[in-house]
Chain A
Amino acid sequence: MQQAIPNDKIPDAVSILGKKHRVVAPVSKGKSFVFSAIENPADVIIDYPTTILPLKKFFLPPIEVLLHYNRKSQAVSAPALQAEKTIYFGIHNYELQGLLRLDHAFHAGVHDDTWQIRRQGSLFVGVSYVPDEHHFAESVGIPTTLKEGFDLFLTRFDAHYRVESLTDEGAAMMKELAPVLVPCECAGDPVVHFKNKLRQSVAGIREIFHGAYTHPVWKKTARECHSCGTCNICCPTCYCFDVDDQTTLGTDEGARLRKWDSCQFLSFTAVAGGEAFREKRHDRVRHRMSRKFAYITDEKGQPFCVGCGRCVRQCTASINIVDVMNALL
Chain B
Amino acid sequence: METKNIYVPEIAEIVRAEKMTAIEAFYEVRLPGGRDLGHQPGQFVQVSLFGIGEAPISICSSPLKKGSFEMVVRRVGNVTEALHRLSPGDKVGIRGPFGKGFCTEELRDKDVLFVAAGLGLPPLKSLIDTLLDEKERKKFGRVIVLYGAKSPAEFLFNDARAAWEKRKDIDYRVTVDRALEGWKGHVGVITTLIPELSLDLGNTVAAICGPPVVYKYAILALRSKGLRDEQIYVSLERRMKCGVGKCGHCQINSIYVCQEGPVFNYGKIRDLKEAIQ
Contacts and interface: CB of A to CB of B under 8 A. Distances in A.
Q: Do A and B share a complex?
A: yes
Interface of A: 66-67, 69-71, 74, 76-83, 105-106, 108-114, 117, 120, 213, 239-245, 247, 252, 254, 256, 258, 261, 263, 268-273, 275, 277-278, 283, 287, 290-291, 294-296, 298-299
Nearest to B256: A109
Interface of B: 1-9, 11, 49-55, 74, 76-77, 79-80, 91, 93, 212, 237-239, 241-242, 244-249, 251-254, 256, 259, 273-274, 277
Contact of A243 (B8, B74, B241, B252): B241
Contact of A272 (B49, B50, B76, B254): B76
Nearest to A243: B241
A109 B259 contact: yes
Given A74-B50, A247-B51, A271-B239, A67 B274 contact: no
A245 B53 contact: yes
Contact of B8 (A78, A117, A240, A294): A78
Interface-central residue, A108, A213, A254, A256, by most chain B CB under 10 Å: A256
A303 to B, nearest CB: 14
Contact of B50 (A114, A240, A254, A270): A254
Q: What are the 10 A-B residue pairs with the smallest beta carbon separation, nearest first?
A: A272-B77, A240-B248, A295-B254, A78-B5, A69-B50, A110-B244, A71-B50, A66-B7, A272-B76, A247-B51
B76 A273 contact: yes
A244 B48 CA distance: 11
Given A71-B51, A213-B273, A270-B239, A76 B9 contact: yes
Contact of B247 (A71, A117, A243, A296): A243
A80 B3 contact: yes
Contacts of A296: 254
Nearest to A80: B3
A108 B259 CA distance: 12
B247 A241 contact: yes
Contacts of A272: 55, 74, 76-77, 79-80
Nearest to A247: B51
Contacts of B273: 213
Given A67-B8, A299-B254, 14 more contacts: A74-B93, A78-B5, A81-B3, A113-B6, A114-B3, A114-B5, A241-B247, A245-B50, A254-B50, A261-B248, A263-B248, A277-B239, A277-B274, A290-B253
Given A71-B50, A245-B50, A268-B249, A113 B242 contact: no
B54 A243 contact: yes
A242 to B, nearest CB: 7
B146 to A, nearest CB: 23
Interface centre among B49, B50, B238, B254 (most CB of A within 10 A): B50
Contacts of B51: 69, 71, 245, 247, 252, 254
A277 B238 contact: yes
Nearest to B93: A76
Contacts of B3: 78-81, 113-114, 117
A242 B91 CA distance: 24
24 contacts: A66-B5, A66-B7, A74-B93, A76-B9, A78-B5, A78-B7, A109-B259, A111-B6, A112-B244, A120-B1, A239-B248, A240-B247, A241-B248, A243-B241, A243-B247, A244-B53, A258-B7, A261-B249, A269-B239, A271-B237, A271-B239, A272-B79, A273-B76, A296-B254
Given A67-B7, A272-B77, A242 B247 contact: yes
Contacts of B55: 272
Contacts of B91: 74
Nearest to B9: A76
A100 to B, nearest CB: 17
A78 B54 CA distance: 16
Contacts of B1: 81-83, 117, 120
A241 B7 CA distance: 13
A213 B2 CA distance: 44
Nearest to A82: B1
B241 A269 contact: no
Contacts of A120: 1
Given A76-B9, A242-B241, A254-B51, A295 B253 contact: yes
Contacts of B244: 109-110, 112
Contacts of A258: 7
B5 A113 contact: yes
Contact of A240 (B11, B93, B249, B254): B249
Most buried by A among B54, B247, B273: B247
A109 B245 contact: yes
A178 to B, nearest CB: 33
Contacts of A77: 8
Contacts of B212: 275
Nearest to A238: B248
Nearest to B4: A113
A292 to B, nearest CB: 12
Given A81-B1, A213-B273, A112 B246 contact: yes
Contacts of B79: 272
A258 B247 CA distance: 10
A243 B242 contact: yes
A246 to B, nearest CB: 8
Which of A71, A112, A252, A296 has its CB near the most chain B CB atoms (within 10 A)?
Answer: A112
A113 B7 CA distance: 10
